Structure 1
Amino acid sequence: MNESKLSELLEQAGERTAVNPPPIDAMRSGATRRRRRRTAVWSAAGTAVAVAAVIGGSTALTNNGASPLEQPPVAGGTPTATVPDNVRLVGVGHTAVAVPKDWATNQLKCGTPTKNTVIVDPGAQGYCLPPYPAGVESVQIGSKPASEFKADETFEVEGVQAQRQRTVCVKRNKVPVCTGAVLIPSRNIWIQAESSTGEAEVGKALEQIWFVQDATGVPGFQTLELETSQAKYLAALKDYGLVPTIVSKPAPGVPKGAVTAVSPTPGTMVPNGSTVTVTVVG
């Protein structure tokens, strides 16, 4: 077969072959799914901890008739990324929030942050209404939402449903303070961000929410009733896969069996299955 005949046969075959338009929609859909499945790796104490973004590239389900919200927060992290050295994770169970390492923990006066701080299991707070300092950021993570939480939007990421409360700014002692929150109902986890710098800082803080696969945040105990705190707290530890060990110490005036201290402290991320020392009144 000569070259001229071969070319003629190829042209005839091409005319008989249907050519469909490129699957642009499918390609875009696949790219969207890949963007939503971003992961990162966090290393601490020699233990590699795989983390996946919680809030990111989400699909809004409802908005409760409210005016359009800002885009739901997108958690930081890209494939094989490492949490920077100047950041630490604070969590409850397998949900955590990333905050700068130089932030304090539970730095409060009568419930008001006095400096940049992460808040986890702070315990009872007095009532004294101190002036709210300007330029202060705080993030609180816990297992129960504040009573005033209201879901303005519901969305879903990687099969996990979350609720977003819109950011609202009000003046406290003449200082504008902005507050926003996210609730993850299936994990019974609530994260609130507060800023006296500006609304944008609230959004940035709520972008730093993570699902952690290979580490567990030590749960708090301060909200438990003293008389039943030992049984309930030990049950909570076991639910999270942590192993409790009990140390008894006397404490006059405190009910026997009440939990008075925990080590590592609540919010600390530890490898799955770690032992937590629980001090109770004996």
Structure 2
Amino acid sequence: MDESKLAEGLSARVADTRVGAAPVAEMVAEARRRSRQRRTLVIACAAAGAVVVGSTALGLRGADRAPVVGDPSPGPRVRTTTTPAVTTPTTDSTPDDDPEPLPDPGPVPAGYRLVGSGPLAVAVPEAWARNSTRCGTPLEDTYVIDSGAICLAYVPRDAGVEALNIVEGHRPYQVDENYEERTLDGELVRISAIECASLSAQEGGVLCQGVLYAPGPKVGFIASSSTHPIAAARLEVERMLAQVRLLDGEVAVPDWVRYSNDHQRRSGARYVAALEELGFTVETTTRVDRGWGPGFVRGVEPVSGTILPRGATVTVTVSGR
């Protein structure tokens, strides 16, 4: 068969062959699913490293310093222990189970103030700083909300530092397994086991961490302590989580940074809608920021975490042209 007849034959076969439309929707859905899996794996691995090894959360000054990145000395030996936050955690509860209520946290202690997100709040000492971290490591006693992007540099954590992170919109990995379901003023919550890491006696550092998460509003509180010894750190974590409460007639201004990161140019509208759903009256202002396209949420006043009466007015700043 010469080349001309071969080409004619192939053309005829092509013309007779029907090809359906490419499954674009299925391809996009699969790509998004794989992207979520990769992102979840990265977040879980990074958080696990912070808890167990303490690479960005645990470290001491002077002779008790943990090795930094690139330090030729061997890394600290870690011993981990896990204890239940309240009672033995379980993941095999059935719909017939009635989760037990948590103890009433009582009135806000003297010298404390409330901070939170949406319908949930926690009492923290008034002397605590706000967002006092570097590369995710608390630099002093602090509560953390809308901290934004976290660098990957190693920053050791000093001994005797307490911190409470308020997280929104996603479930902390610590309550995926080994947790207990309880109720907080009728709101279902998950409480993780308290996990503690103990470095060798030569290093002398400790870190304990526990989580209380409410799946309804998707708000969580991650309490951590580097107070020595481990028993004291564990008590500090229990004490912090015992101050979480459901607000009555009030609501906390939620984190705006998460909306900016997650929703980009739609974040301003999404954040305003979330505030209105919580019962706030919202006013907006526009600010032109170099490098920012229109529609990004750029701030809120009063600041995230502030407790206000339901119906109070908050002002949201959105980027413009």
With the length of structure 2 as denominator, give the TM-score of the two structures.
Answer: 0.62
**Per-residue CA distance 1:228-247 (angstroms, 9 max, x = gap):** 11111011101100111111
State the AA in 2 paired with 1:94: P
Q: Separation in 2 of the partners of 1:72 and 1:119?
A: 27
Counterpart selection for 2:195 from 164, 168, 174 = 168
**Per-residue CA distance 1:19-55 (angstroms, 9 max, x = gap):** xxxxxxxxxxxxxxxxxxxxxxxxxxxxxxxxxxxxx
216 and 158 in structure 1: CA distance in 2 versus 1, 3 angstrom threshold:
closer
Q: Separation in 2 of the partners of 1:156 and 1:203?
A: 16
Matched residue, 1:192: 222
**Per-residue CA distance 1:184-234 (angstroms, 9 max, x = gap):** 112211111000011111000000011111211001111123211111101
Matched residue, 2:212: 182
Instruction: Report how far residue 157 of structure 1 moved.
Output: 4.5
Counterpart selection for 2:267 from 222, 225, 229 = 229
Q: Counting helix residues as a fraction of each chain, which structure ranks higher?
A: 2
Question: Is the 8 Å Cα contact of residues 90 and 97 (structure 1) preserved in structure 2?
Answer: yes
72 and 127 in structure 1: CA distance in 2 versus 1, 3 angstrom threshold:
farther
Instruction: Report how far residue 124 of structure 1 moved.
Output: 1.1
Counterpart selection for 1:208 from 226, 243, 247 = 243
Q: Separation in 2 of the partners of 1:60 and 1:202?
A: 15
State the AA in 1 paired with 2:238: G
> Counterparts in 2 of 1:1-282, with a 5 A limit?
63-64=90-91, 74-77=103-106, 82-143=107-168, 144-151=170-177, 152-171=179-198, 175-197=205-227, 198-224=233-259, 225-282=263-320
Question: Is the 8 Å Cα contact of residues 60 and 156 (structure 1) preserved in structure 2?
Answer: no
Unmatched tracts of structure 1, length 5 or more: 1-58, 66-70
With the length of structure 1 as denominator, give the TM-score of the two structures.
Answer: 0.71
Q: Separation in 2 of the partners of 1:148 and 1:83?
A: 27
Question: Is the 8 Å Cα contact of residues 94 and 216 (structure 1) preserved in structure 2?
Answer: yes
Instruction: Report how far residue 175 of structure 1 moved.
Output: 2.3
60 and 178 in structure 1: CA distance in 2 versus 1, 3 angstrom threshold:
closer
- Root-mean-square deviation (Å): 2.5
Q: Counting strand residues as a fraction of each chain, which structure ranks higher?
A: 1
Unmatched tracts of structure 2, length 5 or more: 1-85, 93-99, 228-232
Instruction: Report how far residue 84 of structure 1 moved.
Output: 3.5
205 and 125 in structure 1: CA distance in 2 versus 1, 3 angstrom threshold:
same
State the AA in 1 paired with 2:291: G
Instruction: Report how far residue 158 of structure 1 moved.
Output: 4.4
Question: Is the 8 Å Cα contact of residues 136 and 150 (structure 2) preserved in structure 1?
Answer: yes
Instruction: Report how far residue 76 of structure 1 moved.
Output: 2.3
193 and 61 in structure 1: CA distance in 2 versus 1, 3 angstrom threshold:
closer
Q: Percent identity?
A: 33
Q: Separation in 1 of the partners of 2:318 and 2:257?
A: 13
Q: Separation in 2 of the partners of 1:270 and 1:208?
A: 18
